[in-house]
Amino acid sequence: MIAIDWGTSSFRACLLGPDGAVRERLASARGIMAVPDRQFAASLREAIGPWLARGETRVLMAGMIGSRQGWQEAPYLPCPAGAAELARALVALAFDWAELRLVPGLATRDDAGIAEVMRGEETQIAGAVARGEVPASGLVCLPGTHAKWARLDCDGRILGFATHMTGEVFAALRGHTILGRMMREAPHDPPAFAAGLARAGQPGGLLHHLFGVRAEALAGRIGEEAGASYLSGILIGHEVRAALAEAGTAEVLLIGEAALAARYAEAIAALGGRTRLAAPDAAAAGLFAIGRAG
Amino acid sequence: MIAIDWGTSSFRACLLGPDGAVRERLASARGIMAVPDRQFAASLREAIGPWLARGETRVLMAGMIGSRQGWQEAPYLPCPAGAAELARALVALAFDWAELRLVPGLATRDDAGIAEVMRGEETQIAGAVARGEVPASGLVCLPGTHAKWARLDCDGRILGFATHMTGEVFAALRGHTILGRMMREAPHDPPAFAAGLARAGQPGGLLHHLFGVRAEALAGRIGEEAGASYLSGILIGHEVRAALAEAGTAEVLLIGEAALAARYAEAIAALGGRTRLAAPDAAAAGLFAIGRAG
């Protein structure tokens, strides 16, 4: 089968073997926002034409391609849901050149009744479940612009989840406040990041800790090259503290890019938790699992 | 005497009577950043020339005019400090057309050793002290871009203070994140603000609550006209919770613009605290008190 993770700003396709192993892969910046005039069918045929020509016709797609802004909406499924529920809710697209199906996203509500949605992450989580990566705690974190924390039952179904706007808040603060003026582009600075994590554990609250980035810079204790790492530590520290206060300190599976996941691992370890890092290609593994469950 | 509050983006001058009452006033957008080529002397003479011509020569200035970016630096004084300490540390400017003096700012450190500074707020607080407005708790809040919370001893000296970046974070989130796309310019919406305050008291943390602004907008429960008030309630709610967790719930004196102060009063009341609003012209009253103490 062909497994496709088609997001807002990226397109990733994997040709899978009958055992689910990735045989070939494609990646481009042709996310749904970069497809002219919503020509999704043409864009897809162009990208995976060689695989189709070899007789592969089963195509399963996850991510924003199934949103209202994408090809066709695959309505959100309520939690709890796992691979079996997702498989039963696949949305088929009527074309004669392939068997195209969209994976729905998931919706939940927190204790206060505030709605939350995810689209794409449910498939990555299903992949981690299929590969036996989820710890007994059932806790999974996907760091990023809008970081997701999900809790699973012992059958691998997602019971609920919460989103933290950490990555986007970081970018807005760095790009559009007084804090950014004290930062220069530089590699990750581990001591500054650790200082930010420690700061997040002190009293005063996030809005006060943010102002301290300026104070520490003015005092010369955080240099221009270290400012962004210090800010990142404060934000990730606050996110992880809040998430673990909700969930209890436990083992957490991290699904995401290795460098960012390592920072979350450090933040979780600082609070006494443990982490595992999911293997690459979680989305492809999830699409394979959903395809088999259907 | 002539009392001047000269900040980054505004210039305010008051002609005071011998009893400290404001007789005349001037205000302009000629903050220190709007004075061409640092021509502060010429700018000031032009503004207050008529008063100087009438024989008023004592000029006391507070705010960013005494910073490194201003006319001349009046070095930060360490806490604890009140009107008497500020009066002893005035910095004189050598001109023959007036007796010009700058009020220094204050510096402190929090329990974690992080430095903080204020410049201008110490003078407003000294005015509130002189007018007997500070409650027995000694707790004073000055809402704004960088909101300050100060604690005073029973002699009206500032023991320490903390800054929360609330106003600037609000502007960055509204102007430069996905949240702003769901907001339209509109008057303050009291129910949405109250909902934001309530949200700040729920578990999950600020970075999660921020994402909920989007979720609530998508769900149609917060309209485009109400989004900014909901976001403001979340941020002010988090600030006030953190500040009162530090200080204990108590009576708080609010110094600032009435509409914003009213929102802080609502946030403090929601946590069981009480508030008073300082009378206008706190800076002029503080300059008068510092001038008399010198």
Task: Tell me if A114 and B164 make a contact (CB, 8 A cut-off).
Answer: no
Which residue in the set B171, B177, B238 is minimally distant from A207, CB to CB? B238
Average pLDDT over residues B64-93: 97
Beta-bridge mates of residue B26: B13
Pick the CATH number of A164-277 from 3.30.420.310, 3.10.105.10, 3.40.50.2300, 3.40.140.10: 3.30.420.310
pLDDT tops 90 at residue B246 = no
Before B143, cis peptide (omega within 30)?
no
What integer best gives the mean pLDDT of chain A?
95
pTM of this prediction exceeds 0.95: no
pLDDT tops 80 at residue A74 = yes
pLDDT tops 90 at residue B282 = yes
Of the listed ranges A19-23, A72-76, B218-222, B284-288, the least confidently predicted one is B218-222
Give the Cα separation of B124 and B102 in Å (integer).
14
Beta-bridge mates of residue A22: A16
Which of A208, A222, A241, A264 to substitute to test the interface with B, most B CBs within 10 Å?
Answer: A208
pLDDT the model gives residue B12: 97
Q: Which residues of B touch A245 (CB under 8 A)?
A: 203, 205
> At B248, is the pLDDT very low, low, confident or very high (cuts 50, 70, 90)?
confident
Average pLDDT over residues B173-190: 93
For the domain bounded by A2-133+281-293, which CATH number is listed? 3.30.420.300
Give the Cα separation of A272 and B157 in Å (integer).
41
pLDDT tops 80 at residue A63 = yes
pLDDT digits 0-9 by tens, A87-113: 999 999 999 999 999 999 999 998 888
Give the Cα separation of B112 and B46 in Å (integer).
46
pLDDT the model gives residue A12: 97
pLDDT tops 80 at residue A35 = yes
Count of beta carbons in the 10 Å neighbourhood of residue A46 = 10
pLDDT tops 90 at residue B125 = yes
pLDDT the model gives residue A181: 87
Count of beta carbons in the 10 Å neighbourhood of residue B134 = 23
- Could you tell me if residue B281 is left (phi over 0), alpha (psi between -120 and 50 degrees) or otherwise beta? left
State what percent of residues in chain B have pLDDT above 70. Answer: 100
Beta-bridge mates of residue B2: B15, B59
pLDDT digits 0-9 by tens, A187-236: 999 999 999 999 999 999 999 999 999 988 888 899 999 999 999 999 99
pLDDT the model gives residue A219: 82
Residue corresponding to tokens 């002190």: A202
Rounded to 5°, angle at Cα A126 from A251 and A246: 40
Q: Which residues of A touch B176 (CB under 8 A)?
A: 171-172, 175-176
> At B136, is the pLDDT very low, low, confident or very high (cuts 50, 70, 90)?
very high
Residue B149 has phi, psi (to 5 degrees) of -120, 120
Please, which residues 254-283 of chain A have a Cβ atom closer than 8 Å to chain B? none
Among B98, B104, B102, B20, residue whose Cα is nearest residue B53: B98
Give the Cα separation of A148 and A167 in Å (integer).
11
pLDDT tops 80 at residue B249 = no
Average pLDDT over residues A256-278: 96
Average pLDDT over residues A237-250: 91
pLDDT the model gives residue B26: 96
Give the Cα separation of A236 and A242 in Å (integer).
10
Check: CB of residue A3 under 8 Å from CB of residue A14: yes
Task: Tell me if A207 and B173 make a contact (CB, 8 A cut-off).
Answer: no
Count of beta carbons in the 10 Å neighbourhood of residue A21 = 13
Domain range annotation of chain B: 2-114+283-293, 164-277
pLDDT tops 90 at residue A248 = no
ipTM computed for the complex:
0.92
pLDDT tops 90 at residue B82 = yes
pLDDT tops 90 at residue B229 = yes
Check: CB of residue A83 under 8 Å from CB of residue A156: yes
State what percent of residues in chain A have pLDDT above 70. Answer: 100
pLDDT digits 0-9 by tens, B18-40: 999 999 999 999 999 999 999 99
Task: Tell me if A164 and B207 make a contact (CB, 8 A cut-off).
Answer: yes
Give the Cα separation of A150 and A143 in Å (integer).
11
* CATH architecture of the region B2-114+283-293: 2-Layer Sandwich (3.30)
Residue corresponding to tokens 């509130």: B128
Task: Tell me if A207 and B175 make a contact (CB, 8 A cut-off).
Answer: no
Average pLDDT over residues A2-14: 96
Tell me the two tokens of residue B252.
Answer: 């708080």
CB pairs under 8 A between A and B: 140
Check: CB of residue B24 under 8 Å from CB of residue B51: yes
pLDDT tops 80 at residue A294 = no
CA distance B242 to chain A (A): 5
Of all residues in chain A, the one with the smallest CA distance to B234 is: A207
Q: Which residues of A touch B146 (CB under 8 A)?
A: 211
Residue B163 has phi, psi (to 5 degrees) of -110, 140
A152 CB-side CA count, 13 A: 27
For chain A, the straight-line distance linking the first and the last C-alpha, in angstroms and rounded, comes to 13
Of all residues in chain A, the one with the smallest CA distance to B236 is: A207
Give the Cα separation of A290 and A103 in Å (integer).
8
Q: Which residues of B touch A177 (CB under 8 A)?
A: 165, 168-169, 172
* Distance set, CA B33 to CA A176, A182, B37, B47 (Å): 19, 19, 10, 16
Residue A101 has phi, psi (to 5 degrees) of -140, 145
User: Is A235 an 8 Å CB contact of chain B?
Assistant: yes
Tell me the two tokens of residue B215.
Answer: 């979720």
Q: Amino acid identity, residue A132?
A: G
What integer best gives the mean pLDDT of chain B?
95
Domains B2-114+283-293 and B164-277 share a fold: yes
> At B189, is the pLDDT very low, low, confident or very high (cuts 50, 70, 90)?
very high
Before A80, cis peptide (omega within 30)?
yes
> At B111, is the pLDDT very low, low, confident or very high (cuts 50, 70, 90)?
confident
Of the listed ranges A112-116, B86-90, B270-274, the least confidently predicted one is A112-116
pLDDT the model gives residue B169: 97
pLDDT the model gives residue B286: 98
Average pLDDT over residues A262-282: 96
Helix axes A258-270, A190-200, angle to 10 degrees: 40
Q: How many residues does chain A have?
A: 294
